[in-house]
Amino acid sequence: MPKNSKVTQREHSNEHVTESVADLLALEEPVDYKQSVLNVAGETGGKQKVAEEELDTEDRPAWNSKLQYILAQIGFSVGLGNIWRFPYLCQKNGGGAYLVPYLVLLIIIGIPLFFLELAVGQRIRRGSIGVWHYVCPRLGGIGFSSCIVCLFVGLYYNVIIGWSVFYFFKSFQYPLPWSECPVIRNGTVAVVEPECEKSSATTYFWYREALDISNSISESGGLNWKMTLCLLVAWSIVGMAVVKGIQSSGKVMYFSSLFPYVVLACFLVRGLLLRGAVDGILHMFTPKLDKMLDPQVWREAATQVFFALGLGFGGVIAFSSYNKQDNNCHFDAALVSFINFFTSVLATLVVFAVLGFKANIMNEKCVVENAEKILGYLNSNVLSRDLIPPHVNFSHLTTKDYSEMYSVIMTVKEKQFPALGLDPCLLEDELDKSVQGTGLAFIAFTEAMTHFPASPFWSVMFFLMLINLGLGSMIGTMAGITTPIIDTFKVPKEMFTVGCCVFAFFVGLLFVQRSGNYFVTMFDDYSATLPLTVIVILENIAVAWIYGTKKFMQELTEMLGFRPYRFYFYMWKFVSPLCMAVLTTASIIQLGVSPPGYSAWIKEEAAERYLYFPNWAMALLITLIAVATLPIPVVFILRHFHLLSDGSNTLSVSYKKGRMMKDISNLEENDETRFILSKVPSEAPSPMPTHRSYLGPGSTSPLENSNNPNGRYGSGYLLASTPESEL
């Protein structure tokens, strides 16, 4: 470009532009670019300090290594849901048959949308607010909604870490405190606690000793001081891990992301050596093909896919924004998705191996108890000894012998049989008992561990694993809150992060009341699901239909150095939006058909009872969903009617230490200021013409190979086109 060329003047400007931005750049050739800073603003004579602008991407923190980044993404995506929700869904939805819809939806929804979030974060190098403001200013509310959802999830998720902390410290005892029911002494009389005797030792410890739970969500019962202290410990751990951003959290990820795999491997080896483990694993992988035709199974599989990968939270975008632009995020998406799925399957194997062991123990216990009933009936002549097969030995009664004896008695005493109160004691019935979430981790699994040799060791390892899994997810969740806010509003990082943790702790006191577990259910099952589906589908639409799939694919081609598979073009453009729209509709219908409720623990009955949320709780739930989604229409309306600036009135360009970064909105297609978004004039090739765009699947990439694509000034970090003007 000649040095005397001029920047096209705006018609509405009252001042004459005497020199173009390109001229200014050209005249600066003798200057040391590594130390110089250029700021150009639409306001004449405006002088802006570097500390005030902070637009240069060279100042943005970066991961110390690719391994650290991958571990961070794995730590965020692999969480508690992989350990207790995925095995429950397998158990509930047909065993091995559930893997089919999950894999299908992982391929057509999970990996494409995960790749999309990685790509936009790495390309734009901003948190979720800045990313979606860049892609489409009118949908900039997506970023704010992501922050709110992250806040909601972080509030209750850290409570679960607090529960794990409580169990972790309680595990340093032998025998484990939940292995036996407590005994109440009244003078010389000692009786077992009735609530525990009616349920089980692990169930009693969870509901009474740990949570001290009330009978319903309407009975607050005051704060549980033990869980309040554990919540304080949990937020202290999270705060220390994230206070310095990726400089501190990246180092934590080396342990928190890898340690769970060590524990899972140890549990798998130990589990496979347990009696009955094979029964549990075979039960898991025995497919019930009729479940594959159930729409509810596909809906739950889709929900699990994007919850497992962390889609819509903003954490994926935040982590990828600290990458260099030549990073191969396509490989990262496939790798992290595969590791996530592998972890879910590994955890399911461990869970079913241990539950198979537990089922055999419970089945043998059932046989012993019912055999004692039969002996009582024989001694009282209620049953004739002729009904007992001659080979049956009550002192060494096997499950096969009991099953044969049970069948004979049921056949002969057909009319009187219900009054006998005998149980069939089938192993399949024990394996079919679906336990999800906290019930799986804090009741079923803890009960199985009481039968392990050296049970305190395994208990310590298990709950330390849960703490680390939760910590990895919380680091990503906090990044989804802090990174976009710090990027957008330039608030002090450490002060804002500590303030978030303190604020979240005090709001989180809601969850450590005696009724707190019911609020956890409300937030976990309902408040985040619908907003997240809305966020994810709008992300897809913003990139594929507003920004443009062809344009986005072309930018990926230039950023990565190769053209992504055309598979992604069709997924982003058609398949993923359609699937997400169906999922959103199904979620809304599900809320309308099945009123939200929760499982309440009734102390007097020592049993769970499903209750519907009262009116005030329903109002709170609706408010939470509305608050999480409200920023999207609000920002759209404000920007549609020009009540909120989208940053199009100013032009600010900075280059420093050999790199340049822009903050530009609504520039003309032929505006010569595009020149400044490329390399320095002395080294840069001709600016990319506006007609060079990706032509869709099957087209030839216009990207030209270069021995040094990033050049001296790292153009891999540059955004070579103006965003909003092309929407």
Give the tens place of pLDDT for each residue, 643-656: 887 654 433 333 33
Distance CA 725, CA 356 (A): 60
Of 68-72, 283-287, 316-320, which gets the smallest average pLDDT?
283-287
Q: pLDDT at residue 73 above 90? A: yes
Name the more confident of 410 and 707: 410
Binding residues: 75, 78, 82, 340, 469, 473
Read off the pLDDT of each residue in 276-284 and give the average, rounded to a whole number: 86
Mind giving me the DSSP string for 668-696? -TT-GGGGGGSS-TTT--PPPPTT-----
Q: pLDDT at residue 245 above 70? A: yes
**CA angle (469 as vertex; 466, 471 as ends), nearest 5:** 105
* Alpha carbon separation from 558 to 194, 299, 605, 722 (Å, rounded): 69, 36, 65, 15
pLDDT band at 60 (very low <50, low <70, confident <90, very high): confident
Q: Are 441 and 210 in contact (CB under 8 A)?
A: no
Of 75-84, 128-137, 335-344, which gets the smallest average pLDDT?
75-84
Q: For 589-631, what is each residue's pLDDT tens digit?
A: 877 788 888 999 999 888 889 999 999 999 999 999 999 999 9
Residue 636 confidence (pLDDT): 95
Distance linking the first and last C-alpha atoms of the chain: 27
Q: Are 316 and 118 in contact (CB under 8 A)?
A: yes
Instruction: Single out the residue of 509, 12, 456, 516 nearest to residue 217, CA to CA.
Output: 516
Residue 415 confidence (pLDDT): 80
Q: Are 107 and 338 in contact (CB under 8 A)?
A: no
| Three-state DSSP class for residue 531 | helix
Name the more confident of 554 and 11: 554
Q: What percent of the chain has pLDDT over 90?
A: 45
| Three-state DSSP class for residue 31 | coil
Residue 188 confidence (pLDDT): 77
Q: For 192-230, what is each residue's pLDDT tens digit?
A: 888 998 888 999 999 999 999 999 999 988 999 999 999
Distance CA 459, CA 710 (A): 51
Distance CA 599, CA 312 (A): 28
Mind giving me the DSSP string for 563-598? PPPHHHHHIIIIIHHHHHHHHHHHHHHHHHHS--EE
Name the more confident of 444 and 719: 444
pLDDT band at 125 (very low <50, low <70, confident <90, very high): very high
Which residues have a Cβ under 8 Å from the Cβ of 94 and sit 6 or more positions away? 287, 288, 289, 290, 291, 292, 297
How long is the chain? 727
Residue 434 confidence (pLDDT): 60
Dihedral angle at the C-alpha atoms of 262, 266, 269, 273, nearest 10 degrees?
A: -170
Instruction: Write the single-letter amino acid at 611.
Output: L
Which residues have a Cβ under 8 Å from the Cβ of 343 and sit 6 or more positions away? 78, 82, 260, 261, 264
Q: pLDDT at residue 57 above 50? A: no
Q: For 429-457, what is each residue's pLDDT tens digit?
A: 877 776 666 788 898 889 888 888 889 99
Q: Are 569 and 553 in contact (CB under 8 A)?
A: yes
Q: pLDDT at residue 261 above 50? A: yes
Binding residues for Na(+): 75, 78, 82, 340, 469, 473
Q: For 667-697, what is each residue's pLDDT tens digit?
A: 334 443 333 333 333 333 433 333 344 444 5
> Which sign does the torsion angle of CA 189, 193, 199, 204 carry?
negative
Whose tokens are 């019912």? That residue is 370
Of 28-42, 170-184, 317-331, which gets the smallest average pLDDT?
28-42
Q: For 17-53, what is each residue's pLDDT tens digit?
A: 444 444 444 444 444 433 333 333 333 333 333 333 3
pLDDT band at 81 (very low <50, low <70, confident <90, very high): confident
Q: Are 556 and 564 in contact (CB under 8 A)?
A: yes
Residue 124 confidence (pLDDT): 93
Distance CA 715, CA 717 (A): 5
Q: For 531-565, what is each residue's pLDDT tens digit?
A: 998 999 999 999 999 999 999 999 999 999 999 99
Per-domain residue ranges of the chain: 86-183+192-362+433-645, 363-432
Of 53-62, 178-187, 460-469, 510-519, which gets the smallest average pLDDT?
53-62
Residue 342 confidence (pLDDT): 94
Which residues have a Cβ under 8 Å from the Cβ of 383 and sit 6 or more positions away? 374, 377, 409, 413, 420
Read off the pLDDT of each residue in 287-301 and give the average, rounded to a whole number: 82
Residue 526 confidence (pLDDT): 83
Name the more confident of 5 and 221: 221
Residue 473, token pair as written in the block: 């997810």
Q: Are 694 and 553 in contact (CB under 8 A)?
A: yes
Q: Which residue intervals of 594-651 are DSSP H helices?
A: 615-629, 631-640
Q: Helix, strand, coil % (nearest 5) of the chain?
A: 65, 5, 30
Q: pLDDT at residue 333 above 60? A: yes
Distance CA 384, CA 403 (A): 17
Instruction: Single out the residue of 542, 552, 117 nearest to residue 311, CA to CA.
Output: 117
Instruction: Write the single-letter amino acid at 315.
Output: G
Name the more confident of 426 and 19: 426
Provide the 8-state DSSP code for 182.
-
pLDDT band at 240 (very low <50, low <70, confident <90, very high): very high
Name the more confident of 59 and 362: 362
Q: For 365-383, what is each residue's pLDDT tens digit?
A: 888 888 888 888 888 888 8
Which residues have a Cβ under 8 Å from the Cβ of 297 and sit 6 or more positions away? 93, 94, 98, 101, 291
